[in-house]
Amino acid sequence: MYYVKKRLEISAAHRLDLSYESKCTQLHGHNWIVTVECKSPVLNADGMVTDFTHVKQQVQSLLDHTVLNDILPFNPTAENIARWIVDNVDNAWRCEVQESEGNIAIYERD
């Protein structure tokens, strides 16, 4: 099995739709650190699991300097963002989304 990992920094704002009172329901921003992990048992014709530039295009170019609520069709929690990335990046199987120091959500495809 071949593995690659791409780390991205994304500046974006969001507000959360929550069932309880929280300051996070107000629009606020983070400098997100996103780590996307991809794997494949075989390399493509170019000798790669996936091109790092494609990962950047599929994630950073879409989300950076945006209001995530305007881009994503779900409540943009770190957990939901991690799942969305795994579902939308070629060969992705795991993603870590860090929204601030000490707050990290991880999604792994089974």
Any idea which residue has 């707050």 for tokens? 103
Domain ranges of the chain: 2-101
Q: How many residues does the chain have?
A: 110
CATH assignment of 2-101, among 3.40.50.2020, 3.30.70.360, 3.40.50.720, 3.30.479.10: 3.30.479.10
- Asked if 15 and 24 count as a contact pair (C-beta separation under 8 A), the reply is yes
25 contacts 17 by C-beta, under 8 angstroms: yes
- Is 46 in contact with 95 (CB distance < 8 Å)? no
pLDDT confidence band for 110 (50 / 70 / 90): confident
Contacts for 87 with CB less than 8 Å, ≥ 6 apart? none
pLDDT tens profile 52-109:
999 999 999 999 999 999 999 999 999 999 999 999 999 999 999 999 999 999 999 9
